[in-house]
Amino acid sequence: MTTTANYMIKAVVGGETYLFQYEHCYDAWAALEQFWHEDYPETIASLPDCGTFPIDILSMLEGKVIATMPVTFNACLFDHFFDKGWSASSQEPGQRYTLDQFAKDIAREPDTARDIIALWSDWCMDYDDENRWLDYLVKHPKGHCNRQHLQDKWDHCYEKYGNKAAMQMFWRELDRKNRDILTEYITTQWRKK
């Protein structure tokens, strides 16, 4: 893709990636404000799970990414910073929501291998009721297996390997698309209850 943008925003919502270009933004915050007021309401606001999702602010130079700033989009925080001017945690009239506070509130560290391994270990030891994540696999737009097929696969792994190894073996039996969908469930839906 050829671009003359000086900033791009990559948003991942519901497993789909959206890319927005900004040609005349003087900094990342101006790109975020343009995203909030123009692209978010037009493209993303009507999607399920659109209140909070990861975004990357890509700083561009001559069509190449020179820096990436990972943040978490949070509709409440964006509204408070860009439209109301006060922090979501303090609604006092004289208390302005500073850029430093906003940056800290939306900061997102890139996943490290240690974080990913810890998350996977936690999931394998304390996964949700199978009906939740099996339904997620089946109902996902990229899902391609019927419920009974996945249920049979899970039941087989559970019976053969027991509750402590069932998830690892179930994972091994999934194809790449279903692994991606299960990963999405674990990283975006698990423990949201």
Q: Using the structure block, give the residue that is written with the tokens 């943008």.
A: 5
The pair of structure tokens assigned to 101 is 């506070």
The verdict on 171 and 100 lying in the same domain is no
The 10s digit of each residue's pLDDT in 136-178 is 999 988 889 999 999 999 999 999 999 889 999 999 999 999 9
- Please give the mean pLDDT across all residues of the chain: 87
Determine the average pLDDT of the residues in 16-23: 93
Question: Quick one: pLDDT at residue 8?
Answer: 93
The domain tally of the chain equals 2
Cα–Cα distance list, 58 to 51, 165, 175 (Å) = 21, 40, 31
Cα–Cα distance list, 111 to 53, 65, 132, 160 (Å) = 14, 19, 25, 33
The answer to whether the CB of 137 falls within 8 A of the CB of 148 is no
The verdict on 118 and 100 lying in the same domain is no
The verdict on 29 and 101 lying in the same domain is yes
Range of the domain at 26: 7-106
Write the CB contacts of 116 (distance below 8 Å, at least 6 apart in sequence).
Answer: none
Question: Quick one: pLDDT at residue 175?
Answer: 93
3-state secondary structure of 87: coil
Question: Quick one: pLDDT at residue 193?
Answer: 43
The pair of structure tokens assigned to 95 is 């208390």
Question: Quick one: pLDDT at residue 55?
Answer: 93
The answer to the question of residue 2 being in a domain is: no
The verdict on 21 and 55 lying in the same domain is yes
- The whole model's pTM is what? 0.57
Write the CB contacts of 107 (distance below 8 Å, at least 6 apart in sequence).
Answer: 71, 72
The 10s digit of each residue's pLDDT in 42-65 is 999 998 878 889 999 999 888 888
The answer to the question of residue 133 being in a domain is: yes
The verdict on 98 and 124 lying in the same domain is no
Does residue 91 register a pLDDT over 80?
A: no
